[in-house]
């Protein structure tokens, strides 16, 4: 349950009109079991953040392009390792270029 003064303050600062409804929502516990199960599964799989992409049990080292996801699925359906023939260095270089361009 998420409750307490900080949340009341955040709601007020966010100009939430119906504070009572906000407080009721913060006290709601529906769905917490599903969240706990998801956190447990993420921990078991070694997932530490989002986005995380898994293909046939193989964890992508960074957010992949759609083209690389398609290639990984093609590899798996052909009984090959998901990462076969995928240019990770090219992907990392492209990501670095995008990061530099955005500065």
Cis peptide before 51 (omega within 30 of 0): yes
The full set of domain ranges for the chain reads 49-101
* Residues with Cβ within 8 Å of residue 91, at least 6 apart in sequence: 62, 64, 65, 68
Taking the model in full, what pTM does it have? 0.49
Least confident of 39-43, 83-87, 93-97: 93-97
Length of the chain: 103
Reported as a single tens digit per residue, the pLDDT across 56-81 is 888 887 888 888 889 999 999 999 98
């Amino acid at each position: 349950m998420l409750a307490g003064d900080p949340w009341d303050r955040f709601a007020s600062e966010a100009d939430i009109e119906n504070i009572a409804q906000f407080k009721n929502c913060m006290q709601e516990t529906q769905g917490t079991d599903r969240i706990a199960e998801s956190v447990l599964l993420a921990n078991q799989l070694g997932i530490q953040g989002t986005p995380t992409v898994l293909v046939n049990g193989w964890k992508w080292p960074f957010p992949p392009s759609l083209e690389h996801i398609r290639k990984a699925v093609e590899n798996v359906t052909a009984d090959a390792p998901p990462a076969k023939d995928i240019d990770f260095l090219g992907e990392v270089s492209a990501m670095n270029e995008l990061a530099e361009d955005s500065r």
